[in-house]
Structure 1
Amino acid sequence: MRSTQILLLLCILGAALCSAALTNNGNNPDDCCFQYYQRRIPKQLIVAYEMTRSDCTHKGVILITKENYPICANPDEPVIDRIMKAIDESKFK
């Protein structure tokens, strides 16, 4: 009887640990853009960019500044497109 209780306890503990590990793989709000930055973004302040995931509600690009600050922007804007192209070209120089 005692071994059955220990086995049941271990099964419950294992299920709890697995569910905790699986929840860390979900969508983080940091991975999506919920609103776009509306002000002008100087190209010289941006050092990198990352497209948001395809399962986000809004298509977006996360621009990373020299101070490692993320800015959400609309990738369909011509200015943002030019910034992304400039970053891509600087990686090949």
Structure 2
Amino acid sequence: MRSAQILLLLCILGAALWSAASANNRNVPDECCFQYYQRRIPKQLIVAYEMTRSDCTLKGVILITKKNYPICANPDEPLIDRIMKSIDESKFK
């Protein structure tokens, strides 16, 4: 009887540890855009950008302002494309 209780306790402990480990290894994007910023974005306010991960549901670019504020934008818009190219060119100067 005692060995059955110990076995049950070990099974419960193993299940708890396994579920915690699998939760830490989940494949969830760190940063995704769920909607785009709709207003015009002044190019001089943007200092950096990063593309969202490929497993995000909405393709996007995260623009970082001088005050370190992230803005989600559509990378297919011509203005956003020009902002990204401008940032890339300024890194090579």
TM-score category (smaller protein): 0.7 to 0.9
- Listed as ranges, the gaps of 5+ residues in structure 1 are none
Question: 1:59 offset after TM fit, Å?
Answer: 0.8
What is the aligned residue count?
92
Question: 1:43 offset after TM fit, Å?
Answer: 1.0
Match of 1:80 in 2: 80
RMSD of aligned Cα (Å): 2.2
CA–CA distance in structure 2, aligned partners of residues 10 and 65 of structure 1: 52
TM (norm. structure 1) is 0.77
* AA at the equivalent of 2:74: N
CA–CA distance in structure 1, aligned partners of residues 77 and 62 of structure 2: 13
CA–CA distance in structure 2, aligned partners of residues 78 and 14 of structure 1: 53
Point out the more displaced range, 55-64 or 12-21.
12-21
Match of 2:60 in 1: 60
Match of 1:26 in 2: 27
TM (norm. structure 2) is 0.77
Question: 1:31 offset after TM fit, Å?
Answer: 1.5
CA–CA distance in structure 1, aligned partners of residues 49 and 7 of structure 2: 49
Q: Give the 3 Å change call, closer, same or farther, for CA 17–66 of structure 1 in structure 2.
A: farther
Question: 1:12 offset after TM fit, Å?
Answer: 4.1
In our comparison, the structure showing a higher alpha carbon Rg is 2
CA–CA distance in structure 2, aligned partners of residues 66 and 8 of structure 1: 57
